[in-house]
Amino acid sequence: MDARGQLAKDLAALGFCVGRSHTNFLLATPPNNKAKRLYQQLKEQQIMIRYFAEPKLDNKLRITVGTSEQNARLVNAITQLLSE
């Protein structure tokens, strides 16, 4: 499985709704409308993703697909944040 597919699978396992992608990023809706909160918490950990405070996007995160190590760090951080 490629890095994008693995990241999408990992995010889905955490309860994200992940749209199909043929690009280097995923548009993912986190569970419980936590997009802005997750964006801010990840930024504090120096993990940069995108959040747009725009209608129809304010409940989603734009996540660039990184290396396997970067993606694992992101998924581990999100796992920890969602369990808090």
Q: At what angle do helices 3-13 and 68-83 cross, to 10 degrees?
A: 10
| Among 3, 2, 13, 19, CA closest to 78 | 13
pLDDT at 17 over 90: yes
Q: Which two tokens stand for residue 51?
A: 């959040």
Give the pTM.
Answer: 0.92
State the pLDDT at residue 75.
98
Cα torsion through 48, 12, 2, 26, rounded to 10: -40
Mean pLDDT value across residues 2-21:
95
